């Protein structure tokens, strides 16, 4: 079944958010990040990666004619992106792998509080077809340029968690680069809290502004997909969200799923509006729907920003568990008046929000400085259409060293 509007993956069950990447709250820093994004900057990166504009590496101007594995253009793209990461003041790392000297590239913003805990945004920079000139604009200069734009913008801020901007090689040969990194991460016990993949972001021929989120129930991937869905609404990005569960395994997020990590893919819509220029020499920037491209990139950036900002730090670097926080909704399904009850394990400011089936916030209230114990409120829902809604509790503890807690539960309105 295809959904042209938001599909709430949280209807799979209640979701408690206790630790990055799973704490969701609108944040002024995320708003600033999105304001800093420039579509002309992203499209210029696309032009450079596809040979429409020259790149400057080691003081020399050169042109990337193809990024196919093992070609001079592939190496030039690697060096160009490496220079960008360094220009943005990032630590840079790389991982060589395979028989064809494939190389992954990592730009790293070290976290100020939890440097060992990592959130990632990644895209593959290699491309097809095998041709002397192969621009590979949508697949996947669009994702690579988004990663570079995110690196440019995020480098102006600090984050409690380490943020890694990854560019993978040899995706087109079977996710070889990302598989090598994910296996390395797992064998070295790297604590990757969230991986967000961006692969093909520019095509929207029917101009419906529907984007895919690909997810599977692995680790906290469902929760991460929920975070992306909510980010579209909270930051008024303006997309229709098509959640695909089970998501495809044909791009680099699958490498992280295979190692048990939390991951999603954000992309243009694959199943109903697939790019006919995919893997051809006609895959160029001229085919892009630029307003859509900007929105999809911003969805990835907002989700990454929420993950990277995480929760209030504790001494151990761990966010405390939700403890005995319990919330109930009844009747559920409900024909009209909905009673929301909850029990606080600590003093906290409690915000309660209701989201409709399209992801729009339709009700919200904030109750400051509530003491521990039982509390309740009602939602007068008689005038709302039938459907599956979400109720979100956000707890900000009075203790400044305690982490926020978030709980989401579905509410079914029946008529």
How do residues 302-357 score in pLDDT, each as one tens digit? 999 999 998 322 222 333 334 457 788 888 888 889 999 888 888 999 999 999 88
pTM comes to 0.74
Q: pLDDT confidence of 26, banded at 50, 70, 90?
A: low
130 part of a folded domain: yes
- Regarding whether 384 and 300 lie in a shared domain, the answer is no
70 part of a folded domain: yes
104 part of a folded domain: yes
| Mean pLDDT value across residues 275-300 | 97
- Regarding whether 122 and 50 lie in a shared domain, the answer is yes
- Regarding whether 177 and 122 lie in a shared domain, the answer is yes
297 part of a folded domain: yes
**Strand 91-97 to 114-124 pairing:** unpaired
355 part of a folded domain: yes
- Regarding whether 54 and 89 lie in a shared domain, the answer is yes
| pLDDT value for 324 | 57
| Mean pLDDT value across residues 119-136 | 97
319 part of a folded domain: no
Q: Which residues pair with 326 in a beta bridge?
A: 343
Q: Is the pLDDT of residue 20 over 60?
A: no
Domain boundary among the residues 309, 337, 352 is at: 309
What SS3 class is residue 174? coil
Range of the domain at 367: 326-413
Residue with tokens 């220029």: 277
CATH number at residue 266: 3.40.630.10
**Strand 114-124 to 161-168 pairing:** parallel
**Which tokens belong to 216?**
């599977």
Domain boundary among the residues 284, 309, 334 is at: 309
320 part of a folded domain: no
DSSP assignment letter at 99 = T
- Regarding whether 378 and 239 lie in a shared domain, the answer is no
- Regarding whether 362 and 241 lie in a shared domain, the answer is no
- Regarding whether 335 and 303 lie in a shared domain, the answer is no
Query: Which among 213, 200, 207, 211 has a CA at the least distance from the CA of 275?
Result: 200
- Regarding whether 273 and 374 lie in a shared domain, the answer is no
| pLDDT value for 121 | 99
- Regarding whether 79 and 192 lie in a shared domain, the answer is yes
- Regarding whether 369 and 262 lie in a shared domain, the answer is no
CATH number at residue 377: 2.60.40.1220
Domain boundary among the residues 309, 341, 370 is at: 309
Measured distance CA(55)–CA(47) in Å, rounded: 9
Measured distance CA(16)–CA(326) in Å, rounded: 10
| pLDDT value for 399 | 86
Residue with tokens 């801020």: 157
- Regarding whether 352 and 303 lie in a shared domain, the answer is no
- Regarding whether 358 and 259 lie in a shared domain, the answer is no
Domain count, the chain: 2
Strand residues in 87-232 grouped as ranges (E)? 91-97, 102-109, 114-124, 161-168, 191-198, 210-214
List, in sequence order, the alpha helices (H) in 95-220.
142-154, 176-187
Q: Is the pLDDT of residue 3 over 50?
A: no
383 part of a folded domain: yes
């Amino acid at each position: 079944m295809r959904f042209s509007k938001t599909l709430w993956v949280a209807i799979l069950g209640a979701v408690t958010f206790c630790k990055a990447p799973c704490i969701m709250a609108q944040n002024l820093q995320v708003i600033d990040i999105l304001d800093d994004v420039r579509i002309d900057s992203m499209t210029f990166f696309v032009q450079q990666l596809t040979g429409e504009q020259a790149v400057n590496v080691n003081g020399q101007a050169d042109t990337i004619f193809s990024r196919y594995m093992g070609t001079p253009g592939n190496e030039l793209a690697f060096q160009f992106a490496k220079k960008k990461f360094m220009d943005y003041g990032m630590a840079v790392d790389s991982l060589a792998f395979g028989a064809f000297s494939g190389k992954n590239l990592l730009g790293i913003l070290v976290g100020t509080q939890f440097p060992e805990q990592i959130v990632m945004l990644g895209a593959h920079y290699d491309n097809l077809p095998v041709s002397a000139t192969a621009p590979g604009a949508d697949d996947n200069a669009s994702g690579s340029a988004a990663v570079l734009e995110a690196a440019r913008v995020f480098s102006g801020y600090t984050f409690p968690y380490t943020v890694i901007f990854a560019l993978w090689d040899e995706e087109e040969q079977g996710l070889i680069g990302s598989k090598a990194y994910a296996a390395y991460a797992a064998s070295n016990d790297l604590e990757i809290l969230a991986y967000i993949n961006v692969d093909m972001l520019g095509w929207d021929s029917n101009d419906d502004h529907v984007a895919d989120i690909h997810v599977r129930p692995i680790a906290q991937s469902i929760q991460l997909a929920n975070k992306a869905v909510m980010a579209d609404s909270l930051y008024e990005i303006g997309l229709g969200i098509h959640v695909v569960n089970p998501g495809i395994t044909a791009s680099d997020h699958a490498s992280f799923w295979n190692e048990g990590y939390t991951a999603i893919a954000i992309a243009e819509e694959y199943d109903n509006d697939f790019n006919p220029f995919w893997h051809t020499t006609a895959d160029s920037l001229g085919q892009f729907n630029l307003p859509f491209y900007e929105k999809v990139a911003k969805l990835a950036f907002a989700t990454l920003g929420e993950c990277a900002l995480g929760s209030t730090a504790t001494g151990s670097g761990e966010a405390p568990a939700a403890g005995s926080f319990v919330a109930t909704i009844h009747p559920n399904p409900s024909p009209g008046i909905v009673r929301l009850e909850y029990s606080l394990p600590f003093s906290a400011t409690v915000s309660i929000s209701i989201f409709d089936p399209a992801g729009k916030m339709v009700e919200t209230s904030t109750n400051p400085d509530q003491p521990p114990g039982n509390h309740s409120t009602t939602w007068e829902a008689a005038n709302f259409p039938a459907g599956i809604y979400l109720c979100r509790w956000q707890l900000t503890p009075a203790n400044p060293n305690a982490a926020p807690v978030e709980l989401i539960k579905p509410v079914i309105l029946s008529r």
